[in-house]
Structure 1
Amino acid sequence: MSEHAAPRDGDADQDAADAASDRDRSEAGGTRVSRRTLLGTAATAGAVGLAGCTARQYRSPPDCGAVASAADAADGYVPLPADDGQSMFRRGLRRYGYYPDATVPEAVRKAWSFPVNRIGHTAAKSTPRPTPDGETVLVAGDTGTIHAVAPTGERRWTLETGAGRSLGFHGTPAIVGDTAYIGGYDGELYAVDVPTGDIVWHTRTRDFGDAIAIGSSPAYVDGSLYLLTEHKNPASGALWEVDAATGNPTWSDDRLWGMPHPSPAIDCEAGRLVTGSNDGVVYCWEFPSLEFAWSFQTGGEGGPDGKPMAGGRFDLGAQIKGTIPVYDGAAFVGSWDGRFYRLDLADGSEEWSFQTGDIVMSNPAIDPKQGIVYVGSDDHHVYALDTETGDELWSADVGGRVIGSITATAETILVGSYDTHLYALDRETGDRRWRVENRGHVTSGPIPRGDRIYYAERGDFSNYYDEDEETVLEEPGHAYCLVPDD
């Protein structure tokens, strides 16, 4: 995605060769310092951006102890952090998408909606994110605008950002106290004051080694943010650690290929950080040391399409678009090779895989109490799988492709579909409880908060896939709020 953006570096062949050599050294246990990393560090050191970044800041590893202790006290059932002044994509560092205390109404109606998305880009749309106290909902649009609204729909403020010059926002804000952090498709990271809508700081693309886009939703641990950036020429990416107070990068690793979109998942108990990329590779680092641990290639040598990228360093066909939740000492991975994997967090070995009828790019949800993972596929189905064995418990037809986030509650599975509907499915059987018709493809995550459900959709376009006809925006995609229909 973002193939049209400006080049990252003109010396693509040399970059690819250097990075491949660096990867070989890393896998052999050597120290890895790549030319791409050195270039990114030099760019950061040579310029002062709005984040005040004059040089790579000294790294002080975050303290994961409080998160790990809380997880142990909760028997691992609650994805953390849990509403302790933080609100994050997929509801926590482990990215479960699990809301055990939420009650989904038997019937719903739309309380309000307003337009937010007008760009044809097919990446999943940003998920509305309530603040920790639930009094404000942040909705980021693909036009580069961030909207802050009350649960009842009244506008608190609207912020236009530089991300409107590109494809706007597709990631979801991480909210810590009164500050929201979100990356844009302009390659910049924004810190926004939630009460006022003022920008606290934002980075420049050169701070991230001339990134062209950030589709990743940040993870936050003890004053540090973790996110992925996308780069071009060659098609590649990097994992970054950023000081949340200043926006200064403190560490990076540019071993990723294929312009990555997922959001990092962190398991403080297991001491692992995991993500994937468009090269079909799962990457894992020790956490918080950030020493590289292992990688796993889905789809064999790049998957079924076999389209060489980055000078032949990887092939398209096994892309990993979805965020990878971590649970029970394992990572759960969907790939464009059509399979869904469970990998051992310790060494990356495959424990099982499940074949769906088409590519898998959605963000799966995990019910850690029941040991069930819910995953959507382009074959129009949602699958409930046993996390230990990979056995199928049920499947449900939702009428269209599933490319956004699945949300699990104690009784209901919420999922958006390309057929323009939001579905509520019975958690035990997969039977449909209700569905709500909308305008465009529903590709954000549905978020239950109190007695309300928030979500967003893509705009409604005609001729989008017809190369001979002009693409027309028929109607903008909206953000919605559902309430009980009494």
Structure 2
Amino acid sequence: MPMNRRQFLTAVGASSVAIAGCAQTETDIPGLEPERELWSFRAADKKRISTTPAVRDGQVYVGSNDHNVYALAADTGRESWQFETNGDIRSSPAISDGTLYIGSLDGHLYALRLDGTERWSVKTGNKVYASPTVTADRVLIGSRDSYLYALKSDHGESVWRTRIGGVIRSKPTVDSGTVYIGGGDGDLVKLHRDDGTIEWRAPTEGRVSVTPAVIDDRVLFADHGGCVYVVSRSDGEPLWTKELSEGVASSPTVHEGTVYFGSWDTKIYAVDLDTGAVEWEVDAYGHVSSSPTIVDGVLYIGDSWGIVYALDPQTGEAYWRFETENAVNSSPTIVDGVAYIASNDGHVYALDVT
């Protein structure tokens, strides 16, 4: 697995004679635009932040490995409040009807008011890595205990739970009363939203940690074995499969008939939705677990080297790049001309993307 920037620079310092003259430095990376930074916020002890920021009503919400959920002023980055859990937070927040839902490695799903006070919490059978999905009056969350939980969003009461298999890191997708979620055992699973009964399982070659995408009569997802799949929504039968040399933990994004995703092979891909044919691929500096975000004709994505890319979705050409000090595994959130980026260097960055 490729090193992130901090690991590389540590190695450079430890063995400078061996690699003198050929080390990658900041000046070697073309198109860096540090002037885009509006502000940055540092979590306690610079603990990594790998969750995708949620932005609502002038506040930015993120979780950190320092166990805290933070609310930050979107215009300044000033901390509004923090809420402490008893474990690292790898789960990205979801906000609905004035409530923020987020999981923690302490095994709980928390429902917080937007002033940082707890509304309720529910303990699952193990650590919660996955991000929640809120649908109507329910919140869905997967756990390391292999179960997908459906809870009433107002009080956290259990509606149902269904065993998916393996460690669940996939965020469920809900469409037309149906739930799609990936399992750590390598299956994509389709369930009924109302009672959690399983309609079908689509087996793969590796763990499925991505968020499935539902496009018309198709479901699109990828696995850690290095395959991207499009299957029939009705029965889970494969329509096409794209094999890569390394695994995929980047949730595919579909835009105007093209599928965009990153891979651990240090590439960012655009492939045709109907056939899987590659339209373009570009090299990143590190492996790509970040999921692409496309806003106003620009594709934003991060990599393990700590680089954030702004690309042309049509060609893959880079408009600009921004460098952090550690991996960007989260997805950029773009609101009102500002990109909010969380990095494993322990910072949240606000970038001007106008």
Change (3 A) 1:192 1:296: same
Number of the residue aligned with 2:235: 389
- Secondary structure of 2:104's counterpart equals strand
Q: Give TM-score, length-normalised by structure 2.
A: 0.77
Describe the shift of the 1:371–1:292 C-alpha distance in structure 2 as closer, same or farther (beyond 3 A).
same
For residues 121-270 of structure 1, the aligned pairs below 5 Å read: 154-162=36-44, 164=46, 166=47, 168-203=48-83, 205=84, 208=85, 211-231=86-106, 237-244=107-114, 246-254=115-123, 256-268=124-136
Structure 2 portions without partners, runs of 5+: 9-32, 318-354
**Root-mean-square deviation over aligned CA pairs:** 2.3
- Where in structure 1 do 4 or more consecutive aligned residues deviate above 6 Å? none
The amino acid of 2:44's aligned partner reads: G
Residues 33-82 of structure 1: per-residue CA shift (max 9 Å, x gap): xxxxxxxxxxxxxxxxxxxxxxxxxxxxxxxxxxxxxxxxxxxxxxxxxx
1:355 aligns with one of 183, 192, 203: 203
Q: Higher strand proportion, which one?
A: 2
Q: Are the counterparts in 2 of residues 386 and 393 from structure 1 also a CA contact under 8 Å?
A: yes
> Equivalent of 1:282, from 135, 148, 163?
148
Closer, same or farther in 2 for the Cα pair 1:332/1:239, shift >3 Å?
Answer: same
Query: Structure 2 counterpart of 1:225, which letter?
Result: L
Query: What SS does the corresponding residue of 1:230 show, helix, strand or coil?
Result: coil
Cα distance 1:179–1:117, how it changes in 2: closer, same or farther (>3 A)? farther
Structure 1's 445 and 175: CA in aligned 2 closer, same or farther, altered over 3 A?
same
In structure 1, distance between residues paired with 2:177 and 2:35 = 41
- Does residue 414 (structure 1) correspond to residue 239 (structure 2)? The answer is no
- In 2, are the aligned partners of 1:398 and 1:423 still within 8 Å (CA)? no
Hey, what's the Cα distance between the residues in 2 that align with 1:403 and 1:217?
A: 15
The share of aligned pairs that are identical, in percent, is 28
Instruction: Give the partner amino acid of 1:216.
Output: S
The number of aligned residues is: 290
Distance 1:163 1:340 in 2: 37
CA deviations 1:119-162 (Å, max 9, x no partner) are: 79xxxxxxxxxxxxxxxxxxxxxxxxxxxxxx996111122221
1:337 to 174, 178, 185: 185
Alignment of 1:481 onto 2:294: no
Runs of at least 5 residues in structure 1 that lack an aligned partner in the other structure: 1-115, 121-150, 232-236, 300-317, 460-476
In the aligned structure 2, how far is the partner of 1:420 from the partner of 1:162?
30
Please give the alpha-carbon distance, in whole angstroms, between the structure 1 residues aligned to 2:162 and 2:35.
44
Instruction: Identify the residue that residue 429 of structure 1 maps to in structure 2.
Output: 275
- 1:21-40 map, 5 Å: none
Contact 1:163 1:169 in 2 (8 A): no
Q: Deviations over 1:300-338 (max 9, x none)?
A: xxxxxxxxxxxxxxxxxx111111111121211111211
How far did residue 117 of structure 1 move? Answer: 6.6
The one-letter amino acid paired with 1:220 is I
Rounded to whole Å, the distance in 2 between the matches of 1:289 and 1:186 is 27
Instruction: Give the drift of 1:410.
Output: 2.9
User: Secondary structure, in 3 states, of the residue corresponding to 1:216?
Assistant: coil
Instruction: Please give the residue correspondences for 1:21-60 in structure 2 after superposition, counting only pairs within 5 Å.
Output: none
Going from structure 1 to structure 2, the CA distance change for 1:153 and 1:427 (only over 3 Å counts) comes to farther
Given residue 279 of structure 2, which amino acid in structure 1 is its aligned partner? R
* Structure 1 residue aligned with 2:212: 364
Contact 1:363/1:403 (<8 A) preserved:
no
Distance in 2 (alpha carbons) for counterparts of 1:259 and 1:332: 21
User: In 1, distance between residues paired with 2:122 and 2:180?
Assistant: 22
Summarize the Cα distance change of 1:298–1:222 in structure 2 as closer, same or farther, 3 Å threshold.
Answer: closer
State the SS of the aligned residue for 1:346: coil
Q: In the alignment, what sits opposite 1:273?
A: 139
Please give the per-residue CA displacement for 1:182-237, whole angstroms capped at 9, x wherever unaligned. 0101110111111111111112x3xx3xx121111111112210111112xxxxx1
Structure-2 change in CA distance of 1:247 and 1:119 (3 Å): farther
Write the deviation string for residues 331-360 of structure 1: whole angstroms up to 9, x where unpaired: 111112111100111111110000111222
Q: Deviations over 1:71-105 (max 9, x none)?
A: xxxxxxxxxxxxxxxxxxxxxxxxxxxxxxxxxxx
The answer (yes or no) to whether the contact 1:241–1:250 under 8 Å persists in 2 is yes
Assess if the C-alpha contact under 8 Å between 1:402 and 1:417 holds in 2: yes
Matches within 5 A, 1:4-15: none
TM-score (norm 1): 0.57
